A and B are shown apart, each in its own frame.
Chain A
């Protein structure tokens, strides 16, 4: 910030040093140059986010087969893809799993993340170091986390069952990932573990913003710690809570990496979600039309949620 030449007032900056020439043309040229800064990003985002949205809608009305990539032929087939997908029982299952997975993950991540944020919000020796080290799981690639957990949850030789057996809890042979009844729960638990650091850090930031005097005033009024938390902390934290839950929803509802690494959607489709179903349809069965249908449903869910979020924000702002 060393600008020794700042002697001119802002008003002098407004007087353009342009001597001759048509001022209109000059202004237009400058505008064009300014758009040059923004245009590459706009074009990129249109290509990588806008275009896929449109293309997916079109693809959902086209017939793709493994042969398509040799012949280049993908004729329109009306609403065949849509009715095929909706009639398949797997779609309903995947939709249900997605909702359960998202709700369960968010609930667990948020509650534990909030508890840890409150815990680390108090000052104690090494608190800052411990808090930043908790971030580590969040920075490891998600597939890698999934694979590590796959080993930990192994039915016969995984350390979790060994531990539970030693402590005397459970049979020591809980089929965490291999039983259709347990797999979804296990996947949710792992995803909670992954999401805790992110929730904690953002909620911690929110807690830091709350003026200390408010807590002191509540304490002076004789409010208990729980009462203070409920009637002072939580209301003040509300905007941050909304942000955490919305970002959490967006990243959870489309989950793919983690499930592929843990269960590949199995056993017996017990952990198949809309994300994995899109992948299976398009990239395993090479039926991109069916994949596009499921993908569109996924977008629709996100969009509905986004509208609710924006509306809630707007009414709150007024």
Chain B
């Protein structure tokens, strides 16, 4: 970002700061709902009444209620999402390498199929999956939900990592093979470390997809055993109509990972969105 602010001094500085002001106004409009979420969360006593534009003080009782009601669900979300990331990367990374490098017959068809999966609506998958999950005993299980959530990230990760692995210089891989490394060792010791960035980007997005998942949580669970926070909040508004403060506090908590990732991993997120558009 530093490189962008030190730009050509030719443009009239006043006009450029005018753009900044306009940009801030646009940002305020776009982020207003998120501000309002935080604002409402800090006014838990307002209940069903009108909410003041600015919180009068730091009333954290909404948050403490949200944590006691939804803390477990946040933890469930975390466990399921981490599990989904592991499954996603374990399956997608070798496939991306194989499709990028081995020149297998049918590679093109597989890549095309991977792109086409984006077309299949999630609710259609859930419709069929629920029935299979009932037969397999995977309904209301952590593992079942992790598998389903991994499906949200796998096609994206394969496409993203493959496009990166295609660009690894062939000499590097050959050098490893001359040193006597087999395909698996070459992959683990040479290819994966070199693909670190695309691996991180894929992992981040797999996490975000899974963390935001609502549909699989809603359809593949019939009891309260495995309840991620998205489902928890959705059912919360049904049961606590008058308690918007804690609903919003729970919403704020559920948005925290996204906010943290945006700040810490901004370059990976930008890369991921750009990479995703290559699809």
Contacts and interface: CB of A to CB of B under 8 A. Distances in A.
A152 B33 contact: yes
- Interface residue tally of chain B, by bracket? 35 or more
Secondary structure dominating the interface of B:
helix
A36, A125, A243: residue with the most chain B Cβ atoms closer than 10 Å: A125
A40 B277 contact: no
Contacts, number: 306
Contact of A120 (B23, B180, B212): B23
Contacts of B266: 132
Interface stretch (A81-89, A179-187, A230-238, A292-300): A292-300
Given A53-B124, A283-B218, A40 B91 contact: yes
A134 B27 contact: yes
Interface in A34-54: 34-38, 40-42, 44-45, 48-49, 51-53
A144 B51 contact: no
Nearest to A295: B124
Contacts of B79: none
Contact of B177 (A13, A40, A116, A141): A13
A123 B92 contact: no
B237 A150 contact: yes
Contact of A41 (B19, B147, B154, B208): B154
Contacts of B34: 136-137, 140, 148
Given A37-B183, A45-B117, A275-B121, A148 B17 contact: no
Interface of A: 1, 3, 5-6, 8, 10, 12-13, 17, 30-31, 33-38, 40-42, 44-45, 48-49, 51-53, 55-56, 59, 69, 116, 119-120, 122-137, 139-145, 147-152, 157, 159, 162, 193, 196-198, 201-202, 205, 240, 243-244, 247, 250, 253-254, 256-257, 260-261, 275, 278-279, 282-283, 288, 291-292, 295-296, 298-299, 302-303, 306
Given A10-B170, A283-B219, 18 more contacts: A10-B174, A37-B95, A37-B97, A37-B183, A42-B110, A48-B154, A49-B117, A137-B34, A139-B261, A140-B255, A141-B213, A144-B254, A147-B247, A162-B50, A247-B279, A291-B127, A298-B123, A299-B119
Question: Top 8 closest A-B pairs, CB basis?
Answer: A41-B95, A37-B98, A139-B258, A254-B121, A52-B128, A124-B19, A55-B128, A13-B174
